[in-house]
Amino acid sequence: MEDNNWHEDIEKEIGSLKEKMTKGDYKLFEVDLLLRVAKRVTSFSSDCEYCQSHRNDISNLVTDLGNLPKMTEEEVADYGRTFRSIIKHLEKHHGLRRSVPNPFIPLGIALVVILISLIAVVSAETMADTTELAIFYIGCLIAAILLIVGVVQGILRLSRKPI
């Protein structure tokens, strides 16, 4: 129960800070991510000693956000280092991910390469023209590689939970 109260307090504090922050600061300090991280740390803190200590770190980060106009460059850098260390812990020890590249990008590129290769072959007067045939085979090879990359990225994306 204490965990939920801590998380609710953090949410309330951040909610009140949102109104005072500029959009640029809100984005720079990744406040939405901080809320998600706080939620994840809460869920793991009953079993994980590091997550219990990270609760204090998150409380300090929220306090730092409250003192945003007075923060020095060194304090901003410390904020970033602390935040990154919490995220790294969640990624490494709890199997969470911050983001994974979209697997559809290589798939789309592969389809474009295949289409370009087919156009090169169709535009050739005969299949005996080795230049167009070579372009087709190279295009198909590149497309196959991109398809494999897309499939692997898709598998990796499904195997990890987001923060």
Mind listing the pLDDT tens digit for each residue in 103-159?
677 767 777 777 777 776 666 655 556 776 777 777 778 877 877 777 776 666 655
* Long-range contacts of 112-119, Cβ-Cβ distance < 8 Å, separation of 24 or more: 113/139, 113/142, 113/143, 113/146, 114/139, 114/140, 114/143, 117/143
Residues 15 and 76 both lie in one domain = yes
Residues 92 and 154 both lie in one domain = no
Flag whether pLDDT at 21 surpasses 90.
Answer: no
Residues 88 and 119 both lie in one domain = no
Q: Which of 49, 77, 96 is the last residue of a domain?
A: 96
Domain limits at 126? 104-162
Residues 114 and 78 both lie in one domain = no
pLDDT for 58 equals 92
Higher per-residue pLDDT: 141 or 35 = 35
CB 74 within 8 A of CB 139: no
Residues 111 and 70 both lie in one domain = no
Residue with tokens 């009140």: 16
Instruction: Give the C-alpha separation, 54 to 38, whole Å.
Output: 9
Q: In total, how many domains does the chain have?
A: 2
- pTM of structure: 0.62
Nearest alpha carbon to residue 68 among 58, 79, 57: 79
Residues 88 and 108 both lie in one domain = no
Q: Share the mean pLDDT of the chain.
A: 80
Residues 85 and 8 both lie in one domain = yes
| Integer angstrom CA distances of residue 91 from 21, 24, 43, 46, 143 | 28, 26, 14, 18, 31
Residues 86 and 32 both lie in one domain = yes
Q: Which of 42, 75, 96 is the last residue of a domain?
A: 96
Q: Where are the beta strands (DSSP E) in the chain?
A: 96-97, 161-162
Q: Which of 43, 61, 96 is the last residue of a domain?
A: 96
Residues 108 and 46 both lie in one domain = no
Residues 91 and 119 both lie in one domain = no
Residues 16 and 74 both lie in one domain = yes
Residues 53 and 11 both lie in one domain = yes
